[in-house]
C-alpha cells in the first residue's frame, strides 16, 4: 500500500494505491468512495479496497476527491477524471496496464464512476469496465423504490439524499446536467462493460436498474443484479460487504483479463 498525492488540473489529489503483489502489468481499478459527495474518504472504504485488490488481483487506486459543500459540483467529477488520466498516463510506472483500467464506486462514488466513464469515452480514454454499486444516477422522487423506501431504510429522502444534493450542486440548473445525473445523458453507447449492483430496500434501486437498462439498450454489455433483503448501506455489514465485493471483484477480473 502506498499513499501519495498527484497533481490534478485544479488541485493536488490524495490517493492510496493498493498492490496485490510485486508483479507487473496488473489491471487498474479507480475506486471512488461514497458519502453523498459530502462525507467519506480513502479511510472509510479501506477494507473494500483491500478486498477488491485481492479478489480481482488488480492495482486499486482509491481517490480522495474534494467534498461539498466547500467544493461544489463539478469539483468531485474533475478530481476523479483527473485521477483516471493520471492512471492512464502513469500506469507503467506503478506496475499497471493502461489498456486495462476500470472504475468502481459505491453510491455517490457510483455516480462519479458512471460520469467519468462517459468523460473518458469522450476524451479518448478507453476504459475496460465500470462497476456501479447502489449508484445515484438521477434525481428521482417518484419511482416505486423511492416512494416505498423513502423513510426508515437508512437512506432517507431528506437526509442524506436531499441534503447531500443541495450541498453538492451549485444551483437548480445542475439538476439537468448529465455530468450530475448520467441517466439523462443523450449518448450512452460505446461505454465500458458495466456491472450495476442494487439493493432491494434502497430508494435508489429503481434508478440504478433503469440506468442498467439504458446501458443495455445502448449496446453496452451489462451485468445487473439486485441484492435482496438489503438496504442502501449493506456494504457497511462486514460479512455481506466481503461477499458482494468478492463477487464484484471476480466479475471485474473476468472482464479485465479477457482479451
How far lies 209's CA from each of 34, 115, 224, 225, in Å? 18, 16, 7, 8
In sign, the C-alpha dihedral spanning 227, 101, 18, 137 is: negative
**Spatial distance between the Cα atoms of 31 and 199, rounded to a whole number of angstroms:** 20
User: Is residue 33 annotated as part of the catalytic site, yes or no?
Assistant: no
**Spatial distance between the Cα atoms of 58 and 86, rounded to a whole number of angstroms:** 17
Please pick, among 26, 202, 206, 241, the residue that the annotation labels catalytic. Answer: 202
How far lies 84's CA from each of 130, 149, 217, in Å? 12, 34, 26
Please pick, among 107, 120, 145, 241, the residue that the annotation labels catalytic. Answer: 107
- Asked if residues 141 and 165 have their Cβ atoms less than 8 Å apart, the reply is no
**Spatial distance between the Cα atoms of 167 and 163, rounded to a whole number of angstroms:** 6
| Residues linked to residue 32 through DSSP beta bridges, in sequence order | 63, 105
- Asked if residues 254 and 195 have their Cβ atoms less than 8 Å apart, the reply is no
**Spatial distance between the Cα atoms of 19 and 94, rounded to a whole number of angstroms:** 9
DSSP class of 156: B
User: Is residue 107 annotated as part of the catalytic site, yes or no?
Assistant: yes
**Spatial distance between the Cα atoms of 104 and 99, rounded to a whole number of angstroms:** 16
Cα of 246 vs its chain's centroid, Å: 16
Closest by CA to 99, choosing from 191, 28, 15, is: 28
Catalytic residues: 107, 202, 232
Amino acid at each position: 500500500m502506498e499513499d501519495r498525492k498527484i497533481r490534478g488540473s485544479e488541485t493536488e489529489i490524495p490517493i492510496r494505491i493498493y498492490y496485490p503483489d510485486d508483479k507487473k502489468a496488473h489491471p487498474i481499478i479507480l475506486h471512488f468512495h461514497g458519502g453523498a459527495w459530502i462525507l467519506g474518504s480513502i479511510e472509510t472504504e479501506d477494507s473494500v479496497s483491500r478486498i477488491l485488490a485481492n479478489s480481482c488481483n488488480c492495482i486499486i487506486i482509491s481517490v480522495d476527491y474534494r467534498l461539498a459543500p466547500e467544493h461544489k459540483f463539478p469539483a468531485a467529477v474533475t478530481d476523479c477524471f483527473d485521477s483516471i488520466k493520471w492512471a492512464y498516463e502513469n500506469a507503467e510506472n506503478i506496475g499497471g496496464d493502461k489498456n486495462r483500467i476500470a472504475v468502481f464506486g459505491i453510491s455517490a462514488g457510483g455516480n462519479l464512476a458512471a460520469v467519468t466513464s462517459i468523460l473518458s469515452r469522450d476524451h479518448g480514454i478507453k476504459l475496460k469496465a465500470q462497476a456501479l454499486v447502489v449508484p445515484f444516477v438521477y434525481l428521482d422522487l417518484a419511482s416505486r423504490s423511492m416512494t416505498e423506501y423513502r423513510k426508515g431504510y437508512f437512506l432517507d429522502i431528506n437526509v442524506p439524499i436531499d441534503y447531500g444534493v443541495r450541498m453538492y450542486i451549485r444551483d437548480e440548473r445542475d439538476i439537468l446536467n448529465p455530468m450530475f445525473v448520467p441517466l439523462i445523458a443523450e449518448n450512452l453507447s460505446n461505454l465500458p462493460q458495466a456491472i450495476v449492483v442494487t439493493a432491494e430496500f434502497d430508494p435508489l434501486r429503481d434508478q440504478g436498474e433503469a440506468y442498467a437498462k439504458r446501458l443495455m439498450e445502448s449496446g453496452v454489455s451489462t451485468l445487473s443484479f439486485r441484492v435482496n433483503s438489503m438496504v442502501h448501506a449493506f456494504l457497511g455489514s462486514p460479512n455481506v460487504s466481503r461477499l458482494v465485493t468478492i463477487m464484484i471483484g471476480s466479475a471485474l477480473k473476468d472482464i479485465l483479463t479477457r482479451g
